[in-house]
Structure 1
Amino acid sequence: MKKILIGTLFSMLVLNSCADESINEDPHSAYTTTAESVVSYAQKSLADYVNTPSVNENNFRLTMQYWQETTYVNESNYDFVNRNVSNNIWTDNYVQVLNNLNKAKELTESYSPTAAEISTWPVTKKNRLAIIDLMMVYTYQNMVDTFGNVPYSQALQLEAFPLPAYDDAATIYSSLIQRAKTDVQSLATGSSFGAGDYYYQGNIAKWKKFGNSLLLKLGIAIADSNPSLAQSTVTDAIAGGVFTSSADNCQLPYQAASPNYNPLYDALVASGRDDYIAAKPFVDFLLANNDPRISSYYQLNEDDEYVGQVVGQPGEVDVFSRIGEFAHEPTHPGTIMNYTEVAFYLAEAAARWGTSVPATAYATAVQASMDEWGVSAVDATAYLAAHPYNAANWKQSIGLQAWAALFNQGQTSWNFYRRLDYPVLQASATAAPEAGGKVPVRMTYPVREQSVNGTNWAAASSAIGGDKLTTKLFWDKF
């Protein structure tokens, strides 16, 4: 596989709403590079952000009470300001991903094909633009699902809008749905990025499935806020063809050598640090339900037991369980979206709108997770028999099983939690005052936005009901 390039070579203009040229421009940026190379860099950056356990960027494994910190427990207590976490999320997604994808789009549109390419270029160009845009849709959805209203229509236009306004989150969602539909329709048999596409190696059929699965995700997210648009989006997505097995997974195949190994390995092994252990709420849930995945998620402690620490409290490694062996493997794939996630969306769609038999879709989703984590058929069958679908409280059935399944997909799990209100999580007793005694339901805007783009930050904060960890997103209705 082609070497993944790390560093500043493909860094693009910084969208941090700051007028300082030294911050907004990277003197090492190389805008004469190819669209393929910029897409490669953006894909790596996106996978790193989504999969990293770094407390500086992605704390959703802590928020969902899968992991607990050993010594420095600020983030377990929802103190995200101490490390400027929101600033880093903003930079990771707007700068490293969206700005690079936008540059790849510009390079694709301005490219002059060679004589040998000219006959196939129209299809190749359409495919490349559609793939780029699907990744942009995915990233924007992550940003909306994290903050609420965010820069969108004026984003990525630094010269015209150095201080971009924030768009209404529901309006962004409607736009993303239409963009994804157009992208899927644009994909046609032919070439695209080839080996420069680290996710699918240019396979158009797989990108179509990804696009439809992304539509499914978008539709499910707004099920309680815009039921008609949600249902029509989900129906179209299923009809178009979503993921049907793990062979469809969208993931980055990390490498064994630095700097291209999985960020989990970086944090748990290469760093030489012991910063994380199991969290008590999830360990106790797994033990109470005889969940066979526990041996994949965690390691036995020094007493050959699975033990998690109370959320918000420090704890010693080996007294409490370490994170599972999978996270200590440098080449463990970095998930963008996988079949397990999609199967749970299909289960939710079946429960809400009867798109299939709900109990069957639920069982399929649970089985997908069991297969993902290598659980035997006997154990999986026994687990499903002990945890049947409950039609009378389908949100509990799906919410709890999604929590159990999405151990390594923190933000996706957080979305299920906020939408379905299961599991019922309790804030740590030592939680930061900003959390109001609750598990956060959004991230606050970057402090940098407050100081530099203050007018637009204030307008956005007012529009969503306050820039707080407790302010619900537009789609989080109950």
Structure 2
Amino acid sequence: MKRILTITLFVSALIMTSSCDDGLEELNENPNNPEFVLTNTIFNYGTKRYSDITRDEFNMGRLDLNWMEYFGQTAYADEDRYLYRETSATSIYQNSYFIATEFKTIIDLNLDPETAPIVASVGNNENQIAASRIMLACIFSDLTNFFGDVPYYSYGTDDPDFQALQVDEIKSPVFASQQKIYADILKELRESADMINVEEPVFTKGDNIFNGDALKWKKFANSLILRIANRLKGVDAGTANSAIAAAIASGIMTSNDDNAIQLYETSDANASPFWVAFIGRTDFAVAAPFVDLLKGKTGKYGADPRLFEMVAPKEASINSIKAGDYETSLDQNDYQGIPFAFPVTNLLPRSTYSYMSSKVLRPDFGSVLMEYAEVQFLLSEINNFDQTAYENGVRASMEKWGVPTAKIDAFVANLPAANLENVITQKYVALYMQAHEAWAEYRRTGFPNTDILLLPGESYTLPPDQAAASKLTTYEFKAAPNSTDLPFRIRYPQTLQTLNGENLSNAISKLPNGDTILSKLFWDVN
């Protein structure tokens, strides 16, 4: 890690064994191979890579973005039926630890007395550590929500079960329990928020989430506490409520200006994961259950004006959507979802279903890590389903998507009263393109329910044009064997059987239904 020291020792050795010192001054000056990478560059790479991996076409598009029925596949339906690819589990697992190592490196460079003064040139040392801890909390909350028990790293806790990211000392780390991980993530976020100096930048450049704004990082940490603690309430209300109270007192997101969004560029080389997925392919369209909800055909919320912002008319070509030059229709009949988990989607003409809108399918579409609308839905639930916070959440989501104010006012005025079903269902709409969180909320609450989502064994009636093309009026959702609900988790990567078999076996032994998608996580008690 001490790369400057390594180079210094190398130069010293050359001096001791050479009778000539000509040119030695240049040995430590190679502009094309710097002594070490500054932390702002590592951070920039880490946040982008985290978003790229966890929100791409396979690790979200063919997992929970399908399972939560935001999208359906246009060519085949295996992943829609929960028969996902082993490569997705392997990619999520391995890449999460690779990326976590980048944030640990930032922490180490800021703690090392030799490198700390140098990296302070790109941002406050403690703020860099705090932001890295927050990103580690994001990574490990995703990991444990996907798999259950996983190897875990903590900056501030010396628990012997926290053995991840210590590759020089521990080759086969134990799997920390989900309960321990959740408790420590809350502690890490609390300490991170408290250590941030809001008077100084996190980074002077290279922060493509908040542009170095320390106050926004503090709000993000506190808002993440609400998310994690609210999920914990069903099994440990005391810890959860204490964490929630401290987070609110410390300061949470207060508007869409505080949204945590990984930014992308307009070039293909640095474009959003789903723009990259659509370069030369058209594997996804918006799923019928989600379109039906937005059109008011299902649910109890009426026609949702976000339909026209989130979805393109079915007549819009993929090229016109990518160019952003199609004509937006305000006629609901021009919008139609692709039937979810439909076995013969290849028989459907392209003009019978809608793609996502050009607001989604654009190279600089930002990946949301958390947003103000979610915070308001959390506050509604935390405060016994407060109506004002619930309405604020809907309003914030609509404003983010660019819905006109008059349409927002009309929709909000007709919302049914806040309760668990209504708050979580509207939260589900707001979490469009944030499928990991929507899937976690479904597992925790069971909403949106079967009135909206198509569950295994249920049938769906096709609209006339799709029925005519496929020669089917209805079809049954046939999911993976023994599935009566959405997956509760994904299976551990098979590579772990060789790499860390003993600890893997111990983790699997704690799962109620073994290493299957049928094993619930500890907080999934609905």
Q: What TM-score does the superposition give when structure 2 sets the normalisation length? A: 0.78
Q: 1:112 to 1:64 in 2, by over 3 A?
A: same
The one of 324, 331, 340 equivalent to 1:311 is 340
CA contact (8 A) 2:209 2:260 kept: yes
SS of residue in 2 equivalent to 1:101: helix
CA drift of 1:305 comes to 2.3
CA drift of 1:150 comes to 0.8
State the partner residue of 2:473: none
CA drift of 1:127 comes to 1.4
Higher relative contact order (CA 8 A, sep 6+): 1
State the partner residue of 2:107: 105
Q: 300-309 or 448-457, which moves further after superposition?
A: 300-309
Count of aligned pairs between the two proteins: 435
SS of residue in 2 equivalent to 1:170: helix
The one of 64, 67, 89 equivalent to 1:63 is 67
CA contact (8 A) 1:249 1:337 kept: yes
Q: 1:469 to 1:113 in 2, by over 3 A?
A: closer
1:128 corresponds to 2:161: no
| Counterparts of residues 93-242 of structure 1 (less than 5 Å) | 93-95=96-98, 97-110=99-112, 112=114, 124-152=124-152, 153-188=162-197, 189-242=199-252
- For residues 36 and 76 of structure 2, the distance between their equivalents in structure 1, rounded to whole angstroms, comes to 43
- For residues 199 and 421 of structure 1, the distance between their equivalents in structure 2, rounded to whole angstroms, comes to 31
State the partner residue of 1:273: 281
State the partner residue of 1:360: 388
Q: 308-317 or 273-282, which moves further after superposition?
A: 308-317
CA contact (8 A) 1:362 1:398 kept: yes
- For residues 116 and 519 of structure 2, the distance between their equivalents in structure 1, rounded to whole angstroms, comes to 53
CA deviation profile, 1:76-125 (whole Å, cap 9, x unmatched): 11112x34211011122111x2011112222222253698x79x88x922
- For residues 342 and 382 of structure 1, the distance between their equivalents in structure 2, rounded to whole angstroms, comes to 22
- For residues 478 and 194 of structure 2, the distance between their equivalents in structure 1, rounded to whole angstroms, comes to 50
- For residues 167 and 114 of structure 1, the distance between their equivalents in structure 2, rounded to whole angstroms, comes to 31
CA deviation profile, 1:354-399 (whole Å, cap 9, x unmatched): xxxx011111111111111111222122222322224xxx110111
CA drift of 1:454 comes to 1.8
SS of residue in 2 equivalent to 1:208: helix
The one of 304, 308, 311 equivalent to 1:298 is 311
SS of residue in 1 equivalent to 2:170: coil
CA contact (8 A) 1:36 1:197 kept: yes
State the partner residue of 2:379: 346
The one of 401, 418, 435 equivalent to 1:373 is 401
Percent of residue pairs bearing the same amino acid type: 28
CA drift of 1:219 comes to 0.9
CA contact (8 A) 1:399 1:421 kept: no
**Computing the radius of gyration over CA atoms, which structure comes out larger, 1 or 2?**
2
Partner AA of 2:290 in structure 1? F
CA contact (8 A) 2:379 2:389 kept: yes
CA deviation profile, 1:400-458 (whole Å, cap 9, x unmatched): 1111211111111112211121112313722122x623211211111111333222111
- For residues 349 and 144 of structure 1, the distance between their equivalents in structure 2, rounded to whole angstroms, comes to 23
Q: What TM-score does the superposition give when structure 1 sets the normalisation length? A: 0.86
CA drift of 1:30 comes to 8.9
SS of residue in 2 equivalent to 1:84: helix
1:89 corresponds to 2:92: yes
Instruction: Note the residue ranges of structure 1 that are not aligned, 5 or more in a row.
Output: 1-28, 353-357
CA drift of 1:265 comes to 1.1
CA deviation profile, 1:184-222 (whole Å, cap 9, x unmatched): 111112243211222122211111111111111111111
- For residues 62 and 208 of structure 1, the distance between their equivalents in structure 2, rounded to whole angstroms, comes to 32
CA drift of 1:469 comes to 0.8
- For residues 208 and 235 of structure 2, the distance between their equivalents in structure 1, rounded to whole angstroms, comes to 35
Q: 238-247 or 373-382, which moves further after superposition?
A: 373-382
State the partner residue of 1:415: 440
1:441 corresponds to 2:488: yes
Instruction: Note the residue ranges of structure 2 that are not aligned, 5 or more in a row.
Output: 1-32, 153-161, 317-332, 458-476
- For residues 360 and 61 of structure 2, the distance between their equivalents in structure 1, rounded to whole angstroms, comes to 18
SS of residue in 2 equivalent to 1:150: coil
CA contact (8 A) 1:47 1:334 kept: yes
Partner AA of 1:396 in structure 2? E
- For residues 269 and 220 of structure 2, the distance between their equivalents in structure 1, rounded to whole angstroms, comes to 27
CA deviation profile, 1:109-166 (whole Å, cap 9, x unmatched): 2253698x79x88x92211111111111111111111111111111111232212111
CA RMSD in angstroms comes to 2.3
CA contact (8 A) 2:313 2:354 kept: yes
CA contact (8 A) 1:245 1:339 kept: yes
SS of residue in 1 equivalent to 2:285: strand
State the partner residue of 2:26: none
Partner AA of 1:276 in structure 2? F
- For residues 525 and 173 of structure 2, the distance between their equivalents in structure 1, rounded to whole angstroms, comes to 28
